[in-house]
Amino acid sequence: MADVTSKDLMKELKLTLLNDEESVTYRPITVSDISRPGMEMAGFFTYYPAKRIQLLGKTEMTFFEQLTDEDKRDRMERLCTYDTPAIILARGMEAPPELKEAANSVGVPVFSGDVSTTRLSSRVTTFLESKLAPMTAMHGVLIDIYGIGVLITGSSGVGKSETALDLVRRGHRLVADDSVEIRQEQEGTLVGQAPELIQHLLEIRGLGIINVMTLFGAGSVRNEKRIGLAIDLETWDQKKQYDRLGLDEDAVEIFDTKLPKITVPVRPGRNLAVIIEVAAMNFRLKRMGINAAEQFSERLTSVIEDSD
């Protein structure tokens, strides 16, 4: 999980700081949930989620204006705590003096966004869920093949990077080589990217480090990609029985998401780039409801039944 502060949020969403910058403490944001403190404006703070971003829209601020001066100060003092990462006002609204005073006293940044409350809430949630998603790193290569994010894994030296180079030459896009940072943005959704240090770089043994974007152009790379398929390359084992029909479905579990997995044996003479390319296309067909292996199995069963 990445460290995200209210200052990161301000820069990403181009928010305007409304209170004194000298008094502000840009605190870390630990949860992606947002609070619309309507009940709190009415004075009910029993279950106040202080650690969430507090989003004030037109409804909350209209109600606030109807309060007495004493209640206004009370609400804002209780709204601004040392745990509150930030308070955001939508629709470009200005912060009332009571809010600025209470926020400055405890260092809570008060921001303003120019968009509607609903749209601002969506943008904040999307950004925080992306940054606060659980993350891990895997040894492998991630390639965007016909719109499918293909994670290629295998032991060191099996030919992952060379295969990735061949795929890039065939018009596909490199996301990450050697190390892939994977985050789970929501249940069933895995997104991979390259560490910043090795972004757009590819290591080829005997050749060294190459910059894919410089050599093949901006269209040959992308910064991140949702992962849809895992392909594991392994050295051909004569004693092992490999799937020849494609009816067996294997999966690899990352976090609590199961990713379809195909094992491809490697031996001299096999064009891995073409095999992986076809595997990605076949995966797309399966998602569209067309399964060649099942169709063949049904035909075979029909022929056997007719012969009986």
Could you give all domains of the chain from N- to C-terminal order, each with its CATH number?
6-131 (3.40.1390.20), 135-298 (3.40.50.300)
Q: What is the pLDDT of residue 103?
A: 96
d(CA 46, CA 20): 29
d(CA 206, CA 172): 23
Q: What is the pLDDT of residue 222?
A: 96
Residues in the annotated binding site: 154-161, 203
Residues sharing a CB contact under 8 Å with residue 279, sequence separation 6 or more, in sequence order: 150, 229, 231, 262, 264
d(CA 159, CA 63): 64
Task: Give yes or no for a contact between 273 and 163, defined as CB atoms under 8 angstroms apart.
Answer: yes
Q: 272-276: which pairs have CB atoms within 8 A and are 24 or more residues apart?
A: 272/159, 272/163, 272/166, 272/233, 273/163, 273/166, 273/167, 273/170, 276/143, 276/145, 276/150, 276/152, 276/163, 276/167, 276/231
Task: Kindly give the confidence (pLDDT) of every residue in the chain, 308 residues in length, as a single tens digit, with 9 standing for 90 and above.
Answer: 568 999 999 999 999 999 999 999 999 999 999 999 999 999 999 999 999 999 999 999 999 999 999 999 999 999 999 999 999 999 999 999 999 999 999 999 999 999 999 999 999 999 998 888 888 999 999 999 999 999 999 998 899 999 999 999 999 999 999 999 999 987 788 999 999 999 999 999 888 999 999 999 999 999 999 999 999 999 888 888 777 777 778 899 998 899 999 999 998 888 999 999 999 999 999 888 888 878 877 887 888 877 76
Catalytic residues: 139, 160, 178, 244
Q: What is the pLDDT of residue 308?
A: 61
Strands 224-235 and 257-266: parallel
- What ranges make up the beta strands (E) of 218-256? 224-235, 250-254
Residues in the annotated binding site for ATP: 154-161
In one letter, which amino acid is 292? A
Task: Give yes or no for a contact between 232 and 155, defined as CB atoms under 8 angstroms apart.
Answer: no
Residues in the annotated binding site for Mg(2+): 161, 203
End-to-end CA distance of the chain: 61
